[in-house]
Amino acid sequence: MKRYTLLSACLALLVMLLPFHTMAAPNDAYHFGFKKGKNGKLASIAQEPFYAIVKKQEAVFLGDTSKKELYLTFDNGYENGYTSQVLDVLKQKKVPAIFFVTGQYIKDQPELLKRMVQEGHLIGNHSWHHPDLTKVNDVRLKEELEKVKTEVATITGQKEMRWLRPPRGIFSEQTLAKSRELGYTNVFWSVAYMDWMVDKQKGRQYAYDKVMSQLHPGAVILLHSVSKDNAEALGQIIDDARKQGYEFKSMDQLKVKNW
C-alpha cells in the first residue's frame, strides 16, 4: 500500500513540475503576443508559451533570419479608404504583399480584390465572419475558410489559397491542426504595432518609427490597411528598409520550416 502511495505522490510532483505549455489542452486558446524586438534583434516569440504549438503545427512568423528579407502582410477586415493608396505605393516601389481578407471585405470591395491579384499580390484567408476560431467547431471553421476561398476565386480567378491569418491572432493547437488539414499554413508575424484603431492615428512618422525600430532579417510585418498612418508611411518604410539592404519578398517565396 505504501508503494502505491509513494508512486502517486511522485506522479503528482512530476505533473506539478512539468512546463505549463506541455500541459496545455488542444483547445486552449492563445493570443499571438510577444515582447517586441529592437535594433535588428528578433522578438521574444521563441520564449512564449505557445511557441511549441506553433512549431509543431508549422505555422510561420519568420522568413530566413540569415537573410535580409522582409514579408509585407496586410489585414483587411473592412475598407477605410486607404487600400488604393497602399496599392499605389506597392506598384510604384515594385513590392509584393499579401492581403488577408474577410467576407465583409470581399462583398464590399470586389474591384480592390481584382486589383490586388492583377498587380501580383496574394490574397489570404482571414475567415468569412472574423470569429474567434477557437470558439467554433470544426464544421464552422471549415465553412468560414471555404467561403472566403471560393468567393475570392470567383471574383479574382485566384484558385489557390494556402495562407491563413487567424482573426485577432487567436488560436489553439486544434485550430492550427484543423486548418492545416484543410491545406492552410497559419501566418503570424514578428513585426507589428497597434495600428488598427482608426480614431487613434498618430501620424506617418509614428507609423514609420514603430515599424523601422522592429525590423530584423526574415521579418513578417503585420499592418492594417485601415490605418491612414500606414498608408502615408509605407513608401518611406520601403525605401529606407531597402537602404539598409533588405529585400521584400512574396509570401509564396517563404520557406516553411520547423523553427
| Cβ neighbours of residue 126 closer than 8 Å, sequence gap 6 or more | 75, 76, 77, 100, 101, 102, 105, 148, 164, 165, 167
Q: How far apart are CA 217 and CA 22, in angstroms?
A: 30
Q: How far apart are CA 167 and CA 169, in angstroms?
A: 5
| Cβ neighbours of residue 161 closer than 8 Å, sequence gap 6 or more | 123, 124, 125, 148, 149, 152, 153, 184
**Residue 75 is a catalytic residue:** yes
Cite the beta strand spans of 16-117 per DSSP E. 30-31, 69-76, 98-101
Task: Report how many helices (DSSP H) and strands (DSSP E) the chain contains, helices first.
Answer: 10, 9
CB atoms within 10 A of CB 68: 19
Residue 248 main-chain phi, psi, to 5 deg: -90, 130
Of 160, 162, 75, 85, the residue nearest 117 (C-alpha): 160
Q: How far apart are CA 166 and CA 189, in angstroms?
A: 11
**Residue 121 is a catalytic residue:** no
Catalytic option among 75, 126, 130, 229: 75
* Residue 245: half-sphere exposure toward Cβ, Cα within 13 Å: 7
Q: How far apart are CA 168 and CA 66, in angstroms?
A: 29
Grid coordinates standing for 54? 506553433
Catalytic option among 121, 130, 224, 229: 224
| Cβ neighbours of residue 7 closer than 8 Å, sequence gap 6 or more | none
* Catalytic residue set: 75, 224
